Amino acid sequence: MTRSAVGGAVHHPWFARLWVRIAAAAEEHGAAEHRARLLTGIAGRVVEIGAGTGVNFAHYPATVDDVLAVEPEPLLRGLAARAAERATVRVVVADGVAERIPAEDGAFDAAVASLVLCSVPDQAPALAELRRVLRPGGRLHFWEHVRADGAGFARVQALLDRTVWPRLGGGCHTSRDTAAAITAAGFTLERVERFRFPAGRVPSPTAPQILGTALRDG
């Protein structure tokens, strides 16, 4: 089993197969618009963590010079490599984890995390590594499902995380306060949208989401 630099398992083949279907379906039902907003204004050298099938690649604007996309799961990495061939910006896909990015300090102008800070074993080491590889003033673009604002819903999410959610096998957590973790890691939140996706009347545990940017301090 592949393990992250901090010891958590990151190899989830069953979830990877499921994610291929979920990502494709979500793209048809609104995810594409969120990805386009996620990547609005991004420029220069970019690192993307947990790139999955590479579904973000088609949304990178021409202001991007190149992208290093790390993905630990072999099935997803293979699909991402194919998506990179179709992308209009240069994308290099590499085996790797968020906690150990194969790059020098300050190598990137921007970093991208979409629906991945829910899955890393521990957010602090992953965010510290993103901070390390971003230049001072570099920007983290994030789109993540998070802990609900409402206390009742948040309690349900916490209960799920302690019980059935880990059995889904993707390493996913529903009750993380990712905006707080980003701030604690040495970033200043610049823009944060909060919304539910999908916006059904009965919310999914992963429906509370945030999308925005944060500046690397210092």
Count of residues engaged in binding ligand SAM, rule: CB under 6 A: 24
Least separation in angstroms between CB 136 and ligand SAM: 24
Token pair, residue 193, equals 């949208």
CA atoms of 140 and 149, how far apart (whole Å) = 22
Q: What is the DSSP track for 9-66?
A: B---HHHHHHHHHHHHHHIIIIIHHHHHHHTTT--EEEEEES-TTTTTGGG--TTEEE
Q: Report 80-109 residues binding ligand SAM (CB under 6 A).
A: 97-99
Tell me if 55 contacts ligand SAM by CB under 6 A. yes
Q: Judged by CB under 6 A, which of 68, 76, 89, 111 binds ligand SAM? A: 76
Least separation in angstroms between CB 50 and ligand SAM: 3
Q: Report 19-48 residues binding ligand SAM (CB under 6 A).
A: 19, 23
Q: What is the largest CA-CA distance in the chain?
A: 46
Eight-state DSSP code of residue 154: H
Task: Please give the residue ranges that form the binding site for ligand SAM (CB under 6 A).
Answer: 4, 10, 19, 23, 49-52, 55-56, 70-73, 76, 97-99, 114-116, 119-120, 171
